Structure 1
Amino acid sequence: MAEHEAVTERLMRRVYLGLREDNLDPQDVVALACELLDWFHCTDAILEVVERNPAEVSPAEMTALARRVLDDVGFDPGFDLAPERVETLRAALRIVARDLPTRGIEGEPEIEILEDCFPVGAGVRLADGEQLNWGGPVLPNMCDDPAMALTSLAILIQESLLEWTWQVWPVCPRHDLGVHGSEQDGAAVWWCAGDGGHTLAPVGELACAVGRRRPE
């Protein structure tokens, strides 16, 4: 069982990289489909790959079939095969870090890939060394969309600080309610539930709404 999983994982990675680098080997796609079929993964794409002669399948068709096979089995390339996801997270952290001085937190935080987690995810390490990953890390597939990445990172930081300090942050000054990271109309915002709900500020612009530092 473990050997089959290792072979299947290796083939999925090779197929993904072949798609990504535009040098897909049809034999890798066939081998992957056969491995999956042996373990009762039976989808239309897998069956088509197994049943057709690879020499008679055009490169465009094989590319489409390979994508369908990976989608059918829920393959995720993680951070290592899709490093642009880490760059998306770093860009998101630069935005949300602009809000941290309102909580009295200074210095430049960093993204930390949590290799010991399964699946591998990402957390944040503050300049003083404090780790923020409460409630589960940011998963790689959350980083394909910048707004989702920023929202997920804001929520992770907020929940981690709450668990760490037992103090609610941020707080809406108009309603005296804790606000939450949320995606509204495709943008990451700090959302207050008061008066039916409203945006306190876009993530990264909290200081304009509540002042630079939290009250002592």
Structure 2
Amino acid sequence: MHSEEQAEQAMNELSDRVYTALRDGGLDAESVLELACLFEVWDVSTPATRELLDRSAADLTPPDLARLGKGLLVETRFEPSFALEPRLLSALEQALEVVERDVRARGITGAFRLITSDGGSLAWVEFQGGYRGSAGIRPPIFDGDIHVPLGEVADIVQETIMDLTGKVWPVCATHNRGLHVGWDQERTVWRCTGDGAHTVAPVGELP
């Protein structure tokens, strides 16, 4: 393995270790400082790396380590894999179950399942043996809370069904137009552009 590959692997392993310790407890100064040093070697200088390297390890309190460890991950756009953070896949499965209610309500049959990339950082929705959506999806994490990306999952299910069946789905029964995902009073909904646009139903509650 080349030195660059070894350094990248070490960085990924340390980032995983810091993320896990932040989530489960037990974060130590050694891991955070080692990660900061690796970032600086790779010319990735951030406020968190600079503060860590400017201060004595003995002066870093547990709250300091938590703040700076989180800062390192945020500033370097760290994203845990599905293997490291199983709650990510659970959030997607929860969203898929909701969208699937709309699929069945409109008489569409066929199995849906989530498939993940080799690295385990992105997922796609598979339907009838195929899938669409080249970018993939993953739930966002804010301050340790995973948010169910219902709108994204509805979008990718819609795209996959239409690409693989050649039919528009779902359709407004009143205007015979294809619906699109939107938001209404902080809810994820199906919207129609007919008659100046209107909400047909929340996602998961199509008649």
Whether TM-score is above 0.5 comes out as: yes
State the 1:68 CA deviation. Answer: 0.7
Contact 1:113 1:123 in 2 (8 A): yes
Task: Report the equivalent of 1:211.
Answer: none
Task: Report the equivalent of 1:138.
Answer: 137
For residues 119-178 of structure 1, give each alpha carbon's deviation from its aligned partner in whole angstroms, at most 9, with x where no partner exists.
73222234xx423333432224389312xx211111101011111122111111222211
Task: Report the equivalent of 1:78.
Answer: 81
- Residues 1-216 of structure 1: matches in 2 within 5 Å? 1-106=4-109, 109-115=112-118, 120-126=121-127, 129-141=128-140, 144-146=146-148, 149-206=149-206, 208=207
Contact 1:135 1:160 in 2 (8 A): no
State the 1:27 CA deviation. Answer: 0.4
Aligned CA distance change for structure 1 residues 115 and 186 (closer, same or farther; 3 Å) = farther
State the 1:47 CA deviation. Answer: 0.4
User: RMSD across aligned C-alpha pairs, in angstroms?
Assistant: 2.1
Contact 1:121 1:140 in 2 (8 A): no
**DSSP 3-state at the match of 1:89:** helix
Identical aligned pairs, as a percentage? 33
**DSSP 3-state at the match of 2:45:** coil
| Worse overlay, 57-66 or 105-114 | 105-114
Q: What is the aligned residue count?
A: 201
Structure-1-length-normalised TM-score: 0.84
For residues 170-206 of structure 1, give each alpha carbon's deviation from its aligned partner in whole angstroms, at most 9, with x where no partner exists.
1112222111123433322111122332211111111
Unaligned ranges ≥5, structure 2 = none
| Worse overlay, 106-115 or 22-31 | 106-115
2 CA distance for matches of 1:11 and 1:164?
41
Structure-2-length-normalised TM-score: 0.88
